[in-house]
């Protein structure tokens, strides 16, 4: 029996089969798993594959030609993930499992994540800072990044800092942007989240603000060559709940954090609006510059569009970008250069 053309293509070039902007996922077996992916909110809406031949199943969708996409197969009987034998590319989702991934033809990993020979590299050091009971635990890990310059520079506080450091290679991106003179030099304090307490600490928490101002900034001042807080604006960035907390930090401490970079922020949920929305709606706009980005293939797209529209309505200084990706660190990694250039050009 001849091999089905789609299966032959998947065996040759990998899963899924990409033809122009049509993506077709292939599965060979007596029964088919469900498809979970960025576009359908993962476990919330698994997709049913359709019979394409004898013991062959498929599912097709359209994606932008410059998209990055993650997916997984789910056994409907056991509720367990099953690996895709036709796609060896896997990446940790940061929570509890590995996802398969692929890039569309007009996309690819951001070249800024690669270390380049001859580019001056900043120094990254690891520290433990006492929390003073502002946040969970007696101490919290903070990674400090000092660019290879002698003059004082502003600080950028990074929520979920170790993820941005290890999964997004943020220090390498910044090294390359500084070397290419696409941004001015700045230092970073990349702050570990609270683990099981992350949702509490990043849901517009005043205690987290206290921890940043009373613990993280003094640590950075001790070990980095910084301009004083309140002079040149510092920056703050984060993704998802970290993006929400970055926006809240800028709204509550604009005298320090005059630059906000929020990636896929969790601002408005169907059953709840976070307090930062009321701050934008009712408080006088502070003198801060805001950059927002979010993915076409994630459940927070409408939330970010609504927040951007409200910021524009209230005359905030804000720029906004939508990338062809989902809610994951690879997509944020590949897009973050835009926000850094906009805020630190």
**pLDDT value, residue 130:** 98
As given in the structure block, the two tokens for residue 165 are 């450091």
The boundaries of the domain holding residue 336 are 111-344
Residues 6+ away with beta carbon under 8 Å from 265 = 238, 239, 240, 243, 244, 246, 247, 292, 294, 300, 303, 304, 307
**DSSP string over 144-177:** EEE-S-SS-B-EEEEETHHHHHHTS-HHHHHHHH
The Cα–Cα gap between 72 and 193 comes to: 26
- Regions of the chain short of the pLDDT cut 50: none
Convert the pLDDT of each residue in 23-37 to its tens digit: 999 999 999 999 999
How many domains does the structure of the chain reveal? 2
Q: Are residues 32 and 85 in the same domain?
A: yes
Model confidence, pTM: 0.95
**pLDDT value, residue 229:** 85
Q: Are residues 31 and 87 in the same domain?
A: yes
**pLDDT value, residue 309:** 98
Residue with tokens 């053309």: 5
Q: Are residues 248 and 165 in the same domain?
A: yes
**pLDDT value, residue 7:** 84
Peptide bond into 66 cis (omega under 30): no
**pLDDT value, residue 320:** 98
Q: Which CATH number do you get for residue 262? A: 3.40.50.1820
- Residue 212 dihedral angles phi and psi, to the nearest 5°: -65, -45
Residue 139: name the closest of 149, 151, 127, 129 by CA: 129
* Residue that terminates a domain, selected from 80, 103, 126: 103
Q: Taking a C-beta distance cutoff of 8 angstroms, is the pair 64, 324 a contact?
A: yes
**pLDDT value, residue 299:** 92
Q: Are residues 69 and 22 in the same domain?
A: yes
**pLDDT value, residue 95:** 83
């Amino acid at each position: 029996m001849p091999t089905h053309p789609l299966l032959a293509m998947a065996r040759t070039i990998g899963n899924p089969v990409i033809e122009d902007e049509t993506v077709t996922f292939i599965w060979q077996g007596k029964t088919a798993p469900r498809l979970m992916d960025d576009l359908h909110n993962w476990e919330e809406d698994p997709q049913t594959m359709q019979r394409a031949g004898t013991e062959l199943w498929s599912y097709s969708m359209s994606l932008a030609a410059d998209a990055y996409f993650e997916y997984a197969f789910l056994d409907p009987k056991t509720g367990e993930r099953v690996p895709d034998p036709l796609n060896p590319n896997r990446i940790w989702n940061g929570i509890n499992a590995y996802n398969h991934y692929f890039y569309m033809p007009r996309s690819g990993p951001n070249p800024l994540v690669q270390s380049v020979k001859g580019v001056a590299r900043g120094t990254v050091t690891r520290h433990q800072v006492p929390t003073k009971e502002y946040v969970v635990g007696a101490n919290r890990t903070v990674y400090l990044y000092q660019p290879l310059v002698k003059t004082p520079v502003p600080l950028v506080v990074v929520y979920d800092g170790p993820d941005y450091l290890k999964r997004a290679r943020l220090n390498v991106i910044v090294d390359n942007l500084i070397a290419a003179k696409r941004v001015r030099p700045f230092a970073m304090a990349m702050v570990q989240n609270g683990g099981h307490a992350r949702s509490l600490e990043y849901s517009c928490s005043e205690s987290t603000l206290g921890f940043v101002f009373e613990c993280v900034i003094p640590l950075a001042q001790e070990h980095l060559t910084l301009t004083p807080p309140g002079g040149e604006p510092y920056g703050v960035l984060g993704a998802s709940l970290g993006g929400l907390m970055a926006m809240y930090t800028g709204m509550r401490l604009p005298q320090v954090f005059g630059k906000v970079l929020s990636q896929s922020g969790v601002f408005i949920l169907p059953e709840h609006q976070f307090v930062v929305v009321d701050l934008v709606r009712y408080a006088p706009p502070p003198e801060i510059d805001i950059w927002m980005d979010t993915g076409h293939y994630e459940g927070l797209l409408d939330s970010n569009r609504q927040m951007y529209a409200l910021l524009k309505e209230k005359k905030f200084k804000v720029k906004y970008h939508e990338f062809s990706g989902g809610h994951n660190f690879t997509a944020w990694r590949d897009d973050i250069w835009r926000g850094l250039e906009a805020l630190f050009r």
